């Protein structure tokens, strides 16, 4: 009895093992394997004995109840009421179990939908990130292109203005006009020198 009590926690493990489960990567000694097999056989026999005893007790109770029900007395009425009440409780339990199963399946469906929505939202967020990144890169490339073109146009027009100023200065100087005595020409020449 003490040995059985000590090994009882291992019963479920041993009862559910198959022959394949015994093929460990590290082989066990024959003595340990024999002990394990003996414990399994012992517990299997014990469980079988308990099942048989329980079945016999149920049969005895059922036989006693059926004998009592046949008789018409106060105890029979009590037994019938108890049986009817038990049947009512059992039917209520079955209904509650069905409702519980329905609720569980609904919860599973809701969780599936939630996972799908979460997946979709993550994909949408990733898509939005990609699009915004592409737009940002496009804007940056457009800005750099506009700046580059603006710089090119500015340099071109500055070069043209410098050439025009040089040509104008050359015309004034080449015309042998005394620009220093004429205030308008002097102002133009000084302004051209100042700018370029």
Region of 176 please: left (phi>0), alpha (psi -120 to 50) or beta. left
What does residue 192 show for φ and ψ, rounded to 5 degrees?
-65, -40
**pTM of the shown model:** 0.36
Is 36 part of a structural domain of the chain? yes
Burial of 37-64, coded b for 16+ CB within 10 Å and e otherwise, reads eebbeebeeeeeeeeeeeeeeeeeeeee
The whole-angstrom separation of Cα 101 and Cα 92 is 14
Is 169 part of a structural domain of the chain? no
**2 pLDDT more than 70:** no
DSSP-derived letter for residue 23 is -
Is 6 part of a structural domain of the chain? yes
Is 3 part of a structural domain of the chain? yes
Q: Are 39 and 6 in contact (CB under 8 A)?
A: no
Higher per-residue confidence, 36 vs 149 = 149
- pLDDT for residue 13: 46
pLDDT in tens, 102-159: 999 999 999 999 999 999 999 999 999 999 999 999 888 888 888 888 888 889 888 8
Is 62 part of a structural domain of the chain? yes
Higher per-residue confidence, 176 vs 159 = 159
Is 175 part of a structural domain of the chain? no
pLDDT in tens, 70-97: 666 677 778 778 878 888 888 898 899 9
Is 127 part of a structural domain of the chain? no
Based on the structure, what is the number of domains in the chain?
1
- pLDDT for residue 14: 46
Structural domain boundaries enclosing 56: 1-70
For tokens 């490339």, the residue is: 141
For tokens 């009592």, the residue is: 68
Is 63 part of a structural domain of the chain? yes
The whole-angstrom separation of Cα 92 and Cα 84 is 12
Q: Are 177 and 185 in contact (CB under 8 A)?
A: yes
């Amino acid at each position: 009895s003490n040995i059985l009590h000590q090994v009882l926690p291992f019963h479920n493990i041993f009862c559910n093992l198959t022959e394949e489960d015994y093929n460990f990567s590290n082989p066990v000694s024959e003595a340990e394997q024999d002990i394990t097999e003996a414990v399994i056989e012992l517990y299997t026999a014990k469980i079988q004995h308990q099942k048989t005893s329980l079945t016999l007790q149920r049969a005895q109770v059922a036989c006693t109840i059926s004998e009592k029900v046949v008789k018409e007395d106060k105890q029979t009425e009590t037994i019938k009421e108890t049986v009817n009440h038990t049947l009512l409780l059992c039917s209520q339990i079955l209904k509650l179990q069905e409702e519980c199963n329905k609720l569980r399946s609904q919860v599973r469906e809701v969780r599936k939908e939630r996972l799908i929505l979460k997946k979709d939202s993550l994909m949408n967020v990733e898509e939005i990130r990609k699009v915004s990144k592409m737009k940002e890169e496009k804007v940056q490339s457009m800005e750099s292109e506009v700046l580059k073109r603006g710089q090119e146009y500015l340099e071109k027009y500055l070069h043209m203005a410098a050439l025009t100023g040089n040509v104008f200065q050359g015309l004034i100087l080449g015309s042998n006009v005394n620009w220093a005595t004429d205030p308008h020409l002097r102002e133009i020449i000084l302004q051209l020198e100042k700018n370029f």
